[in-house]
Amino acid sequence: MAKVFVQPRKARPFWFGHPWVFSGAIDRVKGDPRDGSVVELCDHEGKTIGSGWWNGRSQIRVRLVALAHEGALDDALLVKRLDRAIDLRLDAMRLQETASVFRLVHSEGDLLPGLVIDAYREAAGETEGALHLVMQVTALGMTAHLPALIARLVERLAPASITERASGYAAEEEGIARADAVHHGDAPVHPICVVENGVRYWCDIRAGQKTGFFADQRDNRRAVLPYVKGKSVLDAFCYVGGFGLPALVHGGAASVHFLDSSGFALELAQRGAASNGVAERATFEDANVLRVLDRWGREGRMFGVVMVDPPKLVHRRMELEKGLRLYHEINRKAVGVLEDGGILVTHSCSQHVSESDFEHMLSTVAKETGCRFQLLHRGTQGADHPVMLPHDESRYLKSRVFRVVKPPEGFVPFRPDGPPRSAPGNDG
């Protein structure tokens, strides 16, 4: 087995199990490891830290999978970890009692680096009750263990199907080209219905985004319910209706306008509204959120609650500044269509945007618009997307609810670099 030696004074996080060894932390390599093969990770003196997967094409050169005391990196170890991941969802969290869709395996958060598995149990239709598992593989080394893991899933959960969805990230960053594939059973060729918090959703595990549904927002969807009663709500970046449908079904919203640039997602949202019997309070629009918000801002169309949940805008650290500007623009425009005292529900699912980056960006929006942002709720990804310390990088979802108090019409916000020319009483 090849040995990878960490640079002097860089080994500390790895002794505590941090799983990402970037190229810059590596001192030297003994042997010529094949991409995807198991290597021994050592500190610079040669003491064994553990074993992991080598990938010379990835910025994450070694994924540390097993510390020395945890045993050999083999099928048996990963199957044991798979069992523990399933136990956590079914026995400890009892998620199956409130949701028929949730994350079964969350990569590093379950000590199964580069593997995500979502579970979907059908809640309506001809094959009601059927369980479908959808996986994504983002580490080359994980691929060798898939047969053993799939066999264990079949043995333990008896799913109707196991599908793999190719990940664009894995292809680009890890150089692993995997295609969509059905590994077991028959995957549904049509959209399926699932239930979360008593709301029916339609999603498509073969053609939808990611694995088909964003289960990470489950708790945040519930957290906004108290604020929507009797309100006109905008669900921008709605996908299949994640936030807007519960607002109608349980929150008592007067109306929800669903807005997304994917006609396919909107069709599923529409189907969800019909299945939940709330279609008469729902409207749907296939358009670019930024353009629509601009237009409404000019026309003066207002909402009592505005929810924005854009896709991941920062994929690499070097895109952070640009991404934050885009988040800023989205939120500023969202505030532009919010009534005085209205509720802003806003999210970022970019791992590179920290909690403090996100709040700083939002406080800049507040300053520039002259609004007061009153923080009512701070949320993150659900517990089925756990973070295994010290790997804080897997905490990616940020959710905030604010009441927004608007300034009087014509108010010009203070600018530290001198008031703008148009400020009243300031042109001499």
Binding string, residues 161-200; x marks residues near ligand SAH by CB under 6 A: ----------------------------------------
For residue 254 the two structure tokens come to: 């007067």
Tell me, residue by residue from 310 to 349, as one string, x for binding to ligand SAH by CB under 6 A and - for no binding.
Answer: xx--------------------------------------
Bond from prior residue into 390 cis (ω within 30 degrees of 0): yes
320-336 vs 355-369: helix axis angle to the nearest 10?
40
For position 288 contacting ligand SAH by CB under 6 A, the verdict is yes
Q: Which of 110, 118, 122, 260 binds ligand SAH (CB under 6 A)?
A: 260
Inter-residue contact 151 to 119 (CB < 8 Å): no
Of the candidates 322, 307, 309, the one whose C-alpha atom is nearest the C-alpha of residue 353 is 322
Distant-in-sequence, close-in-space partners of 155: CB < 8 Å, separation ≥ 6: none
Give yes or no for residue 96 binding ligand SAH (CB under 6 A).
no
Residue 146 or 248: the one with the smaller Cβ distance to ligand SAH is: 248
Q: Which is nearer to ligand SAH, 61 or 347 (CB)?
A: 347
- CA–CA distance, 303 with 404 (Å, rounded to integer): 12
**Nearer Cβ to ligand SAH, position 281 or 312?**
312
Alpha carbons 129 and 121: distance in angstroms, whole number: 6
Residue 43 interacting with ligand SAH (CB under 6 A): no
Angstrom distance (rounded) from CA 329 to CA 28: 45
Piece of 17-25, 79-87, 173-181, 254-262 that binds ligand SAH (CB under 6 A):
254-262
Number of other CB atoms surrounding residue 28 within 10 Å:
11
State the first-to-last Cα distance of the chain, in angstroms, to the nearest integer: 78
Nearer of residues 122 and 260 to ligand SAH, judged by Cβ: 260
Reduced to 3 states, what is the DSSP secondary structure of residue 128?
Answer: coil
Using the contact rule CB under 6 A, the part of the chain among 102-110, 155-163, 303-311, 337-345 near ligand SAH is 303-311
Residue 261 interacts with ligand SAH (CB under 6 A): yes or no: yes
- Figure out which of the listed residues 50, 242, 379, 386 binds ligand SAH, where binding follows CB under 6 A: 242
3-state helix, strand, coil in the chain (%, to 5): 35, 30, 40
Given the complex with ligand SAH, which of 265 and 338 has the nearer CB atom? 265
Tell whether the torsion through CA atoms of 44, 46, 52 and 56 is positive or negative. Answer: positive
Closest CA to 150 of 107, 183, 109: 183
Cα–Cα nearest to 163, from 181, 176, 146, 140:
181
Q: Does 33 bind ligand SAH (CB under 6 A)?
A: no
Q: Binding of ligand SAH at residue 239 (CB under 6 A)?
A: yes
Cβ of residue 85: shortest distance to ligand SAH, in angstroms?
23
Count of residues touching ligand SAH (by CB under 6 A): 19
The answer to whether 238 contacts ligand SAH (rule: CB under 6 A) is yes
When the beta carbons of 55 and 217 are compared against ligand SAH, the nearer one is: 217
What backbone phi and psi angles, to 5 degrees, belong to 247?
-60, -35
| 193 in Cβ contact with 157 (< 8 Å) | no
Point out which span in 123-131, 132-140, 257-265, 399-407 binds ligand SAH (CB under 6 A).
257-265
Taking CB under 6 A as the rule, does residue 262 contact ligand SAH?
Answer: yes
- Residue whose CB is nearest to ligand SAH in the complex, by number: 242
265 binds ligand SAH (CB under 6 A): yes
The catalytic residue positions are 349
Which region, judged by CB under 6 A, interacts with ligand SAH, from 101-109, 176-184, 288-296, 411-419? 288-296
421 — phi, psi (to 5°)? -55, -35
| Residue type for position 155 | E
Start-end of H helices in 349-393: 355-369
Contact residue for ligand SAH among 217, 270, 381, 394 (CB under 6 A): 217
Residues that bind ligand SAH (CB under 6 A): 209, 214, 217, 237-240, 242-243, 260-262, 265, 288-290, 309-311
